[in-house]
Amino acid sequence: MGMFLNSRIPFESYRLVKRDVYFVDKTSLIEELFPFLEVEKRFICITRPRRFGKSVMASMVGAFFGKAANAGSLFDTLKIASSEGYKTHLNQHHVVYIDFSRMPQDCNTYPAYIERISNGLKRDLKEEYPDIGYNDMDLWDMFQTVFDKTGQNFIFVMDEWDAIFHKEFILEKDKRNYLEFLRNLLKGQAYVELAYMTGILPIAKYSGGSELNMFVEYDMATRIKFSEYFGFLDKEVDQLYKIYTDKTSFPRITREELALWYDGYHTAAGDRVYNPRSVVCALADNQISNYWTGSGPYDEIFYYIRHNIEDVRDDLVMMISGERIDIKLQRYAATDMELYTKDQIYSAMVVYGLLTYEEGRVFIPNRELMDKFDELLLTNHNLGYIYSLAKESERMLKATLAGDTETMCRILKFAHDTESPIFSYNNEMELSAVVNLVYLAARDKYRVEREDKAGEGYVDFIFYPERKGADALILELKIDSTPEEAIRQIQDKRYALRFAGKMGEAPKYTGRLLAVGISYDRKTKEHFCKVEEL
């Protein structure tokens, strides 16, 4: 049993995953790999954002095929056990398992990084096949010699293949050398029975050739195959939520909150998927929180837009308002670190899971990511007028709760006086985007819903307080009308029924219920506000 060859690591990793009370059986993926064994198209690269189960699936694949441990105890009760090829392939293959995110201690150079892998594999081959005369061979020649003399081939399971590209010490020449290392190890090699590789970034390609063009890449936005195995589907979250309610003495999370916070990612197959790590953490903690974006360097949002703030910032306001932005999705490669056009920037953000993509448009998928975008607008002065306006949002909320319509109108006029095309107010959507921005700080205290079903229609905004006893807001917008008409609509369509609760239940919202009407006159360029208690 070696460091990489026939390692016990994937078995132990998957064993721990399977023991979790919120385990989801995704083993049908393994059956889909059987046709890739020992054929020309045996090179698979699956790319997904962070925390979408790539490492869990890599461990699962390594544990199933590998000979390091008897995995029947893990898989006999799972979906894969009913597959025709189950007994044929369970623990019947030599697996090379490499987690490329693992670093040598105090590693600060590419040679130190790659030597750990290369020397470890050489040592494993010598221990597994001691009677073969290797002399002073390169790693790939050693694999080829083993294959020539024994007929033995290998399944390569490689997790986080692109981890090296995120290291500050890696130079451009190091990236090229790394891709060349993978090419020499895998491309055209008869000893490769299957290469299963995962990462965030699509494989980098150079104009002078494609080192790894033998791989078929499966991303979330454009490729249907394998899409159901990364992220949780609605029905899987339903199952987990039932486990949660059955085992938790005092459940604090609603099923609707799970969808609001962690759903919203779209696959090419048309499925909506949840961030799996966040769902499991929330259920285990019995608390909705920002788990996924808190686990990595998500200042990347600003990193990607920094070269094109002028063009991107208006789009950010629209997306934070719940709108979708048209783009032409582009390939984002591991070497594309300088991004300038909007299509380049948004394509990279889709790759990292900061945005999601559907039918030619990008948007913010859920509350978890929305919080991070809110934070960006409230803290990054490089965004200019948007930063200034977002900072006014705390004052706007206080003025609304106090019924100070004069201050509310002043803040809205400040928004209108900025030099931005989204503040032209030619339609209600643009006014809605501005209102979202001037109430940005409210998201810390309220769950803000747009176009929510209420009473006999759909209200523009509802602010559901997250603190017991706090005031609730129903906000309606009007173009070329009056705030009184907006409030009349709130009353006539009985939007307040949204807060009534079910018969016999104690009321969930016990504070004041305020109707807020905001109107804009396109001729006079004036705003009008009215706040009335219902």
Is the pLDDT score of 524 beyond 70?
A: yes
Core vs surface per residue 489-500: b (16+ CB within 10 A) or e: bbeebebbebbe
Contact 211, 179 (CB under 8 A): yes
Contact 328, 236 (CB under 8 A): no
What pLDDT, on the 0 to 100 scale, is given for residue 392?
A: 85
Strand partners, 473: 463, 514
What pLDDT, on the 0 to 100 scale, is given for residue 206?
A: 41
Question: How confident is residue 423, by pLDDT bands cut at 50, 70 and 90?
Answer: low
In this prediction, residues 390-400 reach a mean pLDDT of 90
Contact 330, 347 (CB under 8 A): yes
Which of 109-113, 370-374, 402-406, 427-431 shows the lowest per-residue confidence on average (mean pLDDT)? 427-431
Q: CB within 8 A of 323, min separation 6: which ones? A: 363, 429, 433
Among candidate residues 327, 339, 311, the one with its CA nearest the CA of residue 363: 327
Question: How confident is residue 396, by pLDDT bands cut at 50, 70 and 90?
Answer: very high
Is the pLDDT score of 148 beyond 50?
A: yes
In order of 369, 387, 437, the CA distances from 322 in angstroms are: 12, 18, 11
Contact 495, 474 (CB under 8 A): yes
Is the pLDDT score of 512 beyond 60?
A: yes
In this prediction, residues 191-207 reach a mean pLDDT of 81
Is the pLDDT score of 463 beyond 90?
A: yes
Q: CB within 8 A of 198, min separation 6: which ones? A: 45, 46, 47, 48, 54, 55, 57, 58, 158, 159, 160, 161
Strand partners, 476: 517
What pLDDT, on the 0 to 100 scale, is given for residue 85?
A: 94
Q: CB within 8 A of 46, min separation 6: which ones? A: 54, 57, 196, 197, 198, 217, 218, 226, 230
Is the pLDDT score of 444 beyond 60?
A: yes
In this prediction, residues 101-117 reach a mean pLDDT of 94
Which residue stretches of 439-526 are H helix?
483-492
What pLDDT, on the 0 to 100 scale, is given for residue 508?
A: 76
The CA distance from 428 to 288, in Å, is: 32
Tokens for 516? 């807020």
In this prediction, residues 269-273 reach a mean pLDDT of 89
At 190, is the secondary structure helix, strand, or coil? coil
Is the pLDDT score of 275 beyond 80?
A: yes
Contact 89, 64 (CB under 8 A): yes
Q: Is 384 left (phi over 0), alpha (psi -120 to 50) or beta?
A: left
The CA distance from 534 to 528, in Å, is: 19
The CA distance from 63 to 78, in Å, is: 13
Tokens for 177? 């050398």
Beta-carbon count within 10 A of 417 CB: 11
Contact 480, 514 (CB under 8 A): no
Read off the pTM. Answer: 0.85
What pLDDT, on the 0 to 100 scale, is given for residue 213?
A: 87
Q: CB within 8 A of 173, min separation 6: which ones? A: none
Is the pLDDT score of 96 beyond 90?
A: yes
Interstrand relation of 446-454 and 361-363 (parallel, antiparallel or unpaired) = unpaired
In this prediction, residues 111-131 reach a mean pLDDT of 95
Contact 385, 420 (CB under 8 A): yes
Is the pLDDT score of 74 beyond 50?
A: yes
In this prediction, residues 103-113 reach a mean pLDDT of 93
Instruction: Return mean pLDDT, the chain.
Output: 88
How confident is the model over 205-250, as pLDDT tens digits?
Answer: 543 346 888 999 998 888 999 999 999 999 999 999 999 999 999 9
First to last CA, the chain: 72
Among candidate residues 471, 458, 459, 468, the one with its CA nearest the CA of residue 435: 459
Angle between helices 367-379 and 255-262 (to 10 degrees): 50
What pLDDT, on the 0 to 100 scale, is given for residue 208?
A: 39
Higher local confidence (pLDDT), 487 or 373: 487
Question: How confident is residue 295, by pLDDT bands cut at 50, 70 and 90?
Answer: very low
Tokens for 413? 């006029």
What pLDDT, on the 0 to 100 scale, is given for residue 376?
A: 79
Q: CB within 8 A of 87, min separation 6: which ones? A: none
Strand partners, 198: 46
Please give the sequence-ordered ranges of beta strands (E in DSSP) within 242-400, or none if there are none.
265-266, 272-273, 325-326, 356-358, 361-363
Question: How confident is residue 292, by pLDDT bands cut at 50, 70 and 90?
Answer: confident
Among candidate residues 49, 46, 61, the one with its CA nearest the CA of residue 13: 61
Q: Name, of 102-106, 383-387, 466-470, the range with top average pLDDT.
A: 102-106
In this prediction, residues 515-532 reach a mean pLDDT of 92
Q: Nearest 5°: CA angle at 175, between 171 and 177?
A: 110
Among candidate residues 236, 453, 221, the one with its CA nearest the CA of residue 350: 221
Among candidate residues 276, 383, 452, the one with its CA nearest the CA of residue 258: 276
The CA distance from 36 to 511, in Å, is: 61
Q: Is 375 left (phi over 0), alpha (psi -120 to 50) or beta?
A: alpha
What pLDDT, on the 0 to 100 scale, is given for residue 419?
A: 54
Interstrand relation of 43-47 and 216-218 (parallel, antiparallel or unpaired) = parallel
